[in-house]
Amino acid sequence: MSTLSILIVLPLLIIFSYVFDIIARKTKFPAVILLMFTGISVRLATTIYGIDNFDFLDGLIPVLGTIGLILIVLEGALELNITVNKLPVIIKGFLAAGLILILNVIAISLAFEHLLGMSHQAAIIYATPLSIISSAVAIPSSAGLRQQEKEFVVYESTFSDILGIMLFNYAIRQFETNQSLVSAESLLALGMQILGVIGVSLFITFCLFQLLQKIGHHVKFFLILALLILVYAFGKYFHLPALVTIFIFGLFLSNVKALLPGFLKRRLDLEETEKGLHEFHILTAESTFLVKTFFFLFFGFSIKITDFTSAEPFIYGLIIFGIMWALRYVYFTATTFKLSPSPLVFISPRGLISILLFLQIDEIKFLENTPVLIDEKVLLVVILSSMLVMTKGTMKKEAAETVLEDDITIPGQIAVLQNQEDEIDNNLPSEEGEQETL
């Protein structure tokens, strides 16, 4: 492809993504699906014309996905406003993310073991990415919900991302050393590791705050992003949950007055920090949009329609999605004591993180000889199913609210008219008043 062709194609892809995002806001249909279908369609066209050598995508997609993951977690943390009043929502979001994640991993891994004959280790590893909610899709799709429900989706999906990635890396580390996944020693070591990472994260966050204030150059936010990516890379190299550092930095940056310890506050110019927060948030949001655009386009482009030669991917994908949705429905029914499904039941999409972790499975050494029964085709079916059901749920929510508003409008109008009549009656002189005047 020539330079001129690239200069034409790349801006068009960004414009298409922007248009898709506008369509998604109007119709509640996820823009991610449109991006993936665009990539699939372009790949189909290139295959028809005999162009089918795109090996560079195998290395490009994981890189884009990792950068997108860092930006998504950072943006999600910047969205979180921690106050005492919001502690119940935060706790509910954390518990929902953790419990539903664990239940999904257990149920899906058991299905893989008994229905597909997979080993216990392989079943856990393959089940974990399929159990993680995508905050990149869930948060934008919750825009039409009530404020409390929207905040719950933000907390639940963000915690699901972080806990899911930590569980995935923890399981790999335990299986590589032939240790039990659940034991007092393993869980204690994990807890100590998390506390250590949190302590290091606070130190790194303080250093980044200092750097953010003292940099006099007009370009400083991309330097902070570069340092965060570097911190993640080092954490990944040493098998540490470095994503916690990204999350803590974003959380403290957006809640610097509420969360930062007093002895650190005295060393920082809080007014200057809050001044730069808005600009940094805009940069993060725009960078996330750009990376997500190309990631999902290239992921769709890497999928060949001709690979769907059997019904197995559809069957496996629908079984997995059925387990996910049933567990989520049972959880919200048990916690809300309502049989009618809440809109939150439908908002459980799979997306970027599931794809990214799936791509990492190929690099796991103890799974090299494991037959690949759950592949990208099954993952695509699960992603599309979860997003379509989420779209239907959010549309149903809006339709119910529209009917409710129509029902409220007429009594409201009657009340207004009644008040107007009362005012007129009060302003009219009474017959006794008229007689006294005469």
Instruction: Assign 3-class secondary structure to the chain.
Output: CCHHHHHHHHHHHHHHHHHHHHHHHHHCCCHHHHHHHHHHHHHHHHHHCCCCCCCCHHHHHHHHHHHHHHHHHHHHHHHCCCCHHHHHHHHHHHHHHHHHHHHHHHHHHHHHHHHCCCCHHHHHHHHHHHCCCCHHHHHHHCCCCCHHHHHHHHHHHHHHHHHHHHHHHHHHHHHHCCCCCCCHHHHHHHHHHHHHHHHHHHHHHHHHHHHHHHCCCCCCHHHHHHHHHHHHHHHHHCCCCCHHHHHHHHHHHHCHHHHCCHHHHCCCCHHHHHHHHHHHHHHHHHHHHHHHHHHHHHHHHCCCHHHCCCCHHHHHHHHHHHHHHHHHHHHHHHHHCCCCCCHHHHCCCCCHHHHHHHHHHCCCHHHCCCCCCCCHHHHHHHHHHHHHHHHHHHHHHHHHHHHHHHHHHHHHHHHHHHHHHHHHHHHCCCHHHHHHHC
The CA distance from 323 to 317, in Å, is 10
Pick the residue with more confidence: 187 or 293?
Answer: 293
Pick the residue with more confidence: 120 or 367?
Answer: 120
- Over range 352-372, report the average pLDDT: 81
pLDDT at 361 over 50: yes
Assigned domain for 384 exists = yes
Q: Among 31-40, 123-132, 226-235, 245-254, which is the least confidently predicted range? A: 245-254
Pick the residue with more confidence: 315 or 372?
Answer: 315
What is the reported pLDDT for 186? 79
- Over range 220-225, report the average pLDDT: 80
For residue range 146-155, list pLDDT tens digits in order.
888 888 888 8
What is the reported pLDDT for 271? 66
In which band, very low, low, confident or very high, does the pLDDT at 317 lie, cut at 50, 70 and 90? very high
- Over range 293-301, report the average pLDDT: 85
Assigned domain for 32 exists = no
Assigned domain for 277 exists = yes
What is the reported pLDDT for 273? 62
* Cβ proximity of 374 and 112 under 8 Å: yes
- CA 171 and chain centroid, separation: 22
pLDDT at 350 over 80: yes
Average pLDDT, rounded, for the chain:
78
Pick the residue with more confidence: 320 or 84?
Answer: 320
Assigned domain for 128 exists = yes
- Looking at residue 332, which CATH number applies to its domain? 1.20.1530
Of 9-13, 61-65, 264-268, 344-348, highest mean pLDDT:
344-348
What is the reported pLDDT for 102? 94
What residue type is assigned to position 189 of the chain?
Answer: A
Assigned domain for 337 exists = yes
Q: How many CA atoms lie within 13 A of 411 on its CB side?
A: 4
Assigned domain for 183 exists = yes
Buried b vs exposed e over 217-242: b needs ≥16 C-beta within 10 Å?
Answer: eeebbeebbeebbebbeebeeeebbb
Assigned domain for 44 exists = no
pLDDT at 97 over 80: yes
The residue range of the domain holding 280 is: 54-302+310-421
For residue range 116-169, list pLDDT tens digits in order.
889 889 999 999 999 999 887 887 777 777 888 888 888 898 889 888 888 888
Count of domains observed in the chain = 1
In which band, very low, low, confident or very high, does the pLDDT at 106 lie, cut at 50, 70 and 90? very high
Assigned domain for 131 exists = yes
pLDDT at 275 over 70: no
